[in-house]
Amino acid sequence: MDAADPLVKPWQAEIKPGDYFQKDSRLGFMIYGKILPEEEPREPHVHYRLSQAYSVVCEHGEMGDVHVSKIDTLIDESAFEEAKKRGWRIES
């Protein structure tokens, strides 16, 4: 957290439940996810978000925390659904 927090851009700090995102796994595939609501909100300075994330190696999704500095871009729901139709593969 100490190393990642200084890398958070202002738009990343604003990421909230209901947002969809895309991030590069750095392993040759993309990760797509949705930020989920949390039962107990975190402190504003905590940059982790509960998410459900999908990729070609985890097609059914996996719930976990993502540090917002690792999110490359926000996408809309239609882009998320399009990636799902492609089986989470990168567009060619």
Band of pLDDT at residue 36, cut at 50, 70 and 90: very high
**Three-class SS state of 72:** coil
Structural class in CATH, domain 5-85: mainly beta
Domain edges within the chain: 5-85
pLDDT at 92 over 70: no
pLDDT at 3 over 70: yes
Contact predicate 51/68, CB 8 Å: no
Phi, psi of 6 (to 5 degrees): -65, -15
Sequence letter at residue 19: D
Count of helices and strands (H, E) across the chain: 2, 5
Q: What is the pLDDT of residues 64-78, one digit of tens each?
A: 999 999 999 999 999
Band of pLDDT at residue 45, cut at 50, 70 and 90: confident
pLDDT at 16 over 80: yes
